Structure 1
Amino acid sequence: MNAYLHRSTERGHVKMGWLDTKHSFSFGSWYNPKYMGVGPLRVINDDTIAAHNGFGTHPHDNMEILTCVLDGTISHKDSMGNEQHIPAGEWQLMSAGTGVQHSEYNNGDNPVHMLQIWIQPNVQNAEPAYQQIKRDPKDTPNEWQLIVGPNENAPMHIRQNAEVKAAFLQKDHELPIKATQKFNYVHLISGKIQIGDIAIEAGDALLFDDVTTVKALEDSQFIWFDLDK
């Protein structure tokens, strides 16, 4: 198995008042030419947002923006007319297309912990779209949960030849990984896992090829990106 381990300690760490964030790939003020993305996967930001704070209204275009809330609830408002609350265990996909403005705010009394994931679309200047689902892998441990896919029958449809799956794997359980595209990229949210003979800790990610399995060395939650070139 050919593999490249991206350690959590190699992520960019930016802390500015209400926002404490770790960047897997170059983003904003943090730039590292080694970490510019994997195929169309361009951003994984591990954000902790303080109570009663958040991102004010700002624009996006031609990007598929996936939000995974891990703790707390984030409130979303956009120029498409959507006003939604996204609690832990739910996912949001905003297809920015020709352009959309949105804000994300923590109205609660405790911090919000979430992942913001950007995937470049394979269709430019499409109509903006909003999707949201409840899909908490802890509710169905030890199996893959499809979050987004390129087909209309996926829980959320992404404008890219890519699938994103999530899992909560209990200690000593295993799951198979069989890529359908060019890149396998697994990002570990919590716990400790082993892929092939490589041990992966919370915040780490592994880029690899070949068919293999994921084994949980302790209770673990992670995301698998099956990506085209």
Structure 2
Amino acid sequence: MNAYLHRNGERGHVKMGWLESKHSFSFGSWHNPQYMGVSALRVINDDLIATHNGFGMHPHDNMEILTCVLDGTISHRDSMGNERHISAGEWQLMSAGTGVQHSEINNGDVPVHMLQIWIHPNQRNAAPKYQQIQCDPREQPNQWHVIAGPNADALMHIRQQAEVKSALLEKAQALDVIAAQRINYLHVISGAIQVAEYTMNAGDAIAFAESARIEALEDAQVIWFDLPEVKN
């Protein structure tokens, strides 16, 4: 199998007071020219946010920003007038478009563990929009859940020819990844899996451009980014 393996230990590790984060790709103060994203996928930040702290109001534009809350509850406010709480098992998609300001604060008494994912859109300067869903793959294991994509079967609509899918595989279960002239980027949230000759653990990721089978060596949660061959 021709693949590019990105191990957990190769991610950037940033710790500053209330925030501990692992960056799959260059972000903020951590920069590595080898890790600048894959296709339209630009950011995967694995964040641990301390209690009663978080990201104050700040701007974004022309980026599809997806948040996956794994533990705890984060409180969201934005310049579109949204005030929402995103809890474990929920997902948020903020299409920044022409520009939006937002904050993400942990107002709770337990740390928040979440993934922040940025995807380049294929249209610029569109109107900003906000989407939020409940979809915890742990409640319906051993199947793909299409979290975000350009088509009607996705739970949230993204402005890019890309799909974000998630699954919880129970030990010894397997799922297929179909290439279809696309780039696959598979990120392991928790547990351990086998992809062809590669054994992967939490924080590991792999990019490949062919079909493959994922086998769970133990209960494992994964995200599959089905990406265009070019960023477009």
CA-to-partner distance for each residue in 1:56-88, whole Å, 9 max, x for gaps?
000000000000000000000000000000000
* Aligned pairs, number: 229
TM-aligned CA deviation for residue 151 of structure 1: 1.5
Counterpart CA distance in 2 for 1:76 and 1:138 is 24
Q: Which residue of 1 aligns with 2:159?
A: 159
Q: Which residue of 2 aligns with 1:99?
A: 99
Give the aligned residue type for 1:195: V
Matched-pair contact (CA < 8 Å) for 1:174–1:213: yes
**Greater displacement, 200-209 / 144-153:** 144-153
Q: Which residue of 1 aligns with 2:202?
A: 202
Look up the SS of the partner of 2:55 in the other structure. strand
Counterpart CA distance in 1 for 2:31 and 2:178 is 32
Look up the SS of the partner of 1:124 in the other structure. coil
Give the gaps of 5 or more residues in structure 1.
none
Give the aligned residue type for 2:72: G
Moved over 4 A (4+): none
TM-aligned CA deviation for residue 181 of structure 1: 5.0
TM-score normalised over the length of structure 2: 0.97
Q: Which residue of 2 aligns with 1:183?
A: 183
TM-aligned CA deviation for residue 182 of structure 1: 2.2
Q: Which residue of 1 aligns with 2:124?
A: 124
Give the gaps of 5 or more residues in structure 2.
none
TM-aligned CA deviation for residue 210 of structure 1: 1.1
CA-to-partner distance for each residue in 1:186-213, whole Å, 9 max, x for gaps?
0000000001111001100000121110
TM-aligned CA deviation for residue 154 of structure 1: 1.9
Give the aligned residue type for 1:177: V
**Greater displacement, 78-87 / 177-186:** 177-186
Counterpart CA distance in 2 for 1:212 and 1:9 is 24
Matched-pair contact (CA < 8 Å) for 2:180–2:210: no
Q: Which residue of 2 aligns with 1:223?
A: 223
Counterpart CA distance in 1 for 2:82 and 2:220 is 33
Q: Which residue of 2 aligns with 1:41?
A: 41
Matched-pair contact (CA < 8 Å) for 1:53–1:107: yes
Look up the SS of the partner of 2:206 in the other structure. strand
CA-to-partner distance for each residue in 1:85-109, whole Å, 9 max, x for gaps?
0000000000000000000000000
Q: Which residue of 1 aligns with 2:26?
A: 26
Q: Which residue of 2 aligns with 1:64?
A: 64
Counterpart CA distance in 1 for 2:227 and 2:67 is 18
Give the aligned residue type for 1:159: R
Is 1:142 matched with 2:171?
A: no
Look up the SS of the partner of 2:138 in the other structure. helix
Q: Which residue of 1 aligns with 2:115?
A: 115
Q: Which residue of 2 aligns with 1:55?
A: 55
Matched-pair contact (CA < 8 Å) for 1:181–1:226: no
Q: Which residue of 1 aligns with 2:174?
A: 174
Give the aligned residue type for 1:156: M
TM-score normalised over the length of structure 1: 0.99
Q: Which residue of 1 aligns with 2:82?
A: 82
Matched-pair contact (CA < 8 Å) for 2:23–2:45: yes
CA-to-partner distance for each residue in 1:20-39, whole Å, 9 max, x for gaps?
00000000000001100000
TM-aligned CA deviation for residue 152 of structure 1: 3.9
RMSD: 0.8
